[in-house]
Chain A
Amino acid sequence: MSDIGISTKAMGKSGVTFSPLKVLKGFIPKLDTKAIVKNALISLASILLFVLLWHLGANYLFNIEATAKIEKARTEQGAEAAAQMEACILSGDVSCQPNTLPSPQQVIVAAQNLWADHLSISAKKTAFKAKVATTNADRKAQGLKPIKYTGRPSFIDQILTSIKTVFAGFLLAMFIAIPIGIITGLNENLKTAFNWLIQIFKPVSPVVWLLLVFMIVKTLIRDPELDKSFIIAAISVGLCAMWATLVNTSLGVSSVKTDYMNVAKVLQLSLGKKIFKIIIPSSIPLIFTGLRITVSVAWMVLIAIELLAQSPGLGSFVWEEFQNGANDSNAKIIVAMFVIGIIGFLLDRVMLFVQQSVSFETQ
């Protein structure tokens, strides 16, 4: 008997059990202290080397930019202006800093600022909510819409919005791609019918998808209350990212082992039983491989799509900072870059664990 007390049926009818312990085991690797220390040291050394190279590179670029700035002042306004510019740069004055790759220190400062900014905005929000609480209760009683906080979103708010968008897009991709993948995998004729569509639309750039979705959504959704830009971004993300799942599901369904199909034939299983008891469970590992790729792609195209759809989120944060051109804009962009990378990595890890826990192949 299995020693796992609770084993919830995650996949419902298909009978694939999802054991919490197995997932937990994935998070906690076997404790081999020596290997852990060794790997930690190697990682730490490589991180330090990376930061050092970054620091040196940023310094080098800073010097080039600074020299160019001083030379420009010299040629345009004379030696006195050049000396003034040099003094200004050395003093660290915000108004005359060279605009180039920020150094690691600047990025850390920017990250701290963003966090402080988030705290202050949250405080404002809570204060606002407390202030309008009674009014909103009255409005609700009268059947009116409550007053919402309409201030600037903080960096953390934008991260959360991005995750929300990518999640919505991912769900959409799942609900479109898995059924179509199953249908095309089951039927050779439908596969032929869908094939041209898949082959042509798969390589289309996220930007074009966005424009297409925009054309349709703009016409269909006329309610000004709805968050149109969010809907457009989520649908575009879904459409860009669904192809990997579609192709993998189709492949998984069409390549069920002949032995399994023979057993199904001998048992004279009905079509429904054949699909839900055998074909889908046996293609689950490939479906989840597809879903994992879909999540990575969704997160990657999200930034570009948010940027163009003017949907709030990390993408628009990056773009706004770039347009803004404030002193610490570049550093904030680098902070966003790291956040995007880390979240993408975590999403991939989560999908990997899910994938491993539903896989029935002997490890």
Chain B
Amino acid sequence: MTAGSITHPSAASLRDVMLNIKDLTKIYPTPKGDYVVLEDLQLQIMKEEFVSIIGHSGCGKTTLLTMIAGLNNISGGNIFLNEFPIAGPGPDRGVIFQAPSLFPWMTALENVLLGVKQVFPHASKGEQKDICKYYLSKVGLEDAFHKKASELSQGMQQRVGIARAFALRPKILLLDEPFGMLDSLTRAALQDVLLEVWEKEKITAIQITHDVDEAIFLANRIIMMTSGPRAQVGDILNIEFERPRDRKEILNHPDYYHYRKHLIDFLEH
């Protein structure tokens, strides 16, 4: 596979590294002794890269993501964001959770505004609201600003979740199987929405998924993780499709089945 200047880590200078994971280890103590989820995991994510992490259930994908988010303690090693080690959670790492996790007593706008107020405390109220409205419109919710989150469908709630994460203007986006709970039609629609917003904003993104097709459609690079315990990066696949991507074109592309076979071969071993 050819090495793009951005997609290939070794070719890039250290300045282009957004997230640097070094010797990362996670150990859960259990009564029967320590359970090692991740051991000495190494991973570098470049600026403006979209990375999918794929692996079997229980391999520690979500553990890895929550550690990057700062919601889970690091047992060993380090995670550097822009060369600074992370300490605790923060809005510089926007998270889109598997469940939409909106506050049901707030409207769509209020849900997004809560974060925007934290990140842009000096902006005027009007400006803050404009930021929220911009991103909500981007995800196709221009008619639902003032709807209660509890009145929205699952798919629409996740759209708000996407808007909320992008509106924080984070350095990195962390997506924890964001479409795992949706039906396949809604899922495809939301992948398109996510990609559309992402291609405008180019925020470095790490997405966890079970879905091989989703990973190929969205990512520049797919990280395949070995099954736990002591999970590691097993293999990395570069996806060379040009952006902006079109679902139909990708499905008809000869490389598509080649990528797919590579991933499935890995997962079936």
Interface residues in chain A, defined as those with a beta carbon under 8 Å from any beta carbon in chain B:
1-2, 14-16, 257, 259-260, 262-263, 265-269, 277-278, 281-282, 284, 360-362
Contacts and interface: CB of A to CB of B under 8 A. Distances in A.
A13 to B, nearest CB: 12
Contact of A16 (B95, B105, B115): B105
B105 A15 contact: yes
B89 interface: yes
A88 B69 CA distance: 91
A262 B89 CA distance: 9
Contact of A282 (B105, B146, B147): B105
B118 A259 contact: no
Given A259-B97, A262-B97, A2 B146 contact: yes
B219 to A, nearest CB: 23
Contacts of A360: 104-105, 148, 150
14 contacts: A15-B105, A16-B105, A259-B101, A260-B101, A262-B95, A262-B97, A263-B97, A265-B89, A266-B90, A266-B93, A268-B118, A360-B104, A361-B104, A362-B150
Contacts of A269: 114, 118
Nearest to B97: A259
A16 B149 CA distance: 12
A263 B98 CA distance: 12
B95 A260 contact: no
Contacts of B114: 267, 269, 277
Contacts of B39: none
B90 to A, nearest CB: 6
B101 to A, nearest CB: 4
Interface in B34-89: 69-71, 88-89
Contacts of B168: 267
Contact of A259 (B91, B99, B148): B99
Contacts of A15: 105-106, 110
B94 to A, nearest CB: 7
Q: By CB atoms of chain B within 10 A, which of A2, A259, A267, A269 has the most?
A: A267
B134 interface: no
Contacts of A16: 105
Contacts of B110: 15
B103 A262 contact: no
A267 B101 contact: no
B118 A282 contact: no
Contacts of B147: 2
A14 B101 contact: no
Interface residues of B, number: 27
Contacts of B69: 262, 266
Interface string B114-136: 11001000000000000000000
Contacts of B106: 15, 281
Given A15-B105, A361-B104, A266 B150 contact: no
A262 B91 CA distance: 11
A266 B105 contact: no
B82 to A, nearest CB: 17
Contacts of A265: 70-71, 88-89
A352 B89 CA distance: 40
A282 to B, nearest CB: 7
B99 A266 contact: no
A145 to B, nearest CB: 49
A361 B146 contact: no
A278 B110 CA distance: 12
Contacts of B71: 262, 265-266
Given A266-B71, A266-B95, A278 B150 contact: no
A362 B149 CA distance: 10
Contacts of A257: 101
A282 B97 contact: no
The 4 closest A-B pairs by CB, nearest first: A259-B101, A265-B89, A360-B104, A360-B105
B249 to A, nearest CB: 35
Contact of A268 (B91, B94, B99, B103): B91
Contacts of A260: 101, 103
A282 B103 contact: yes
A284 B70 CA distance: 29
B105 A14 contact: yes
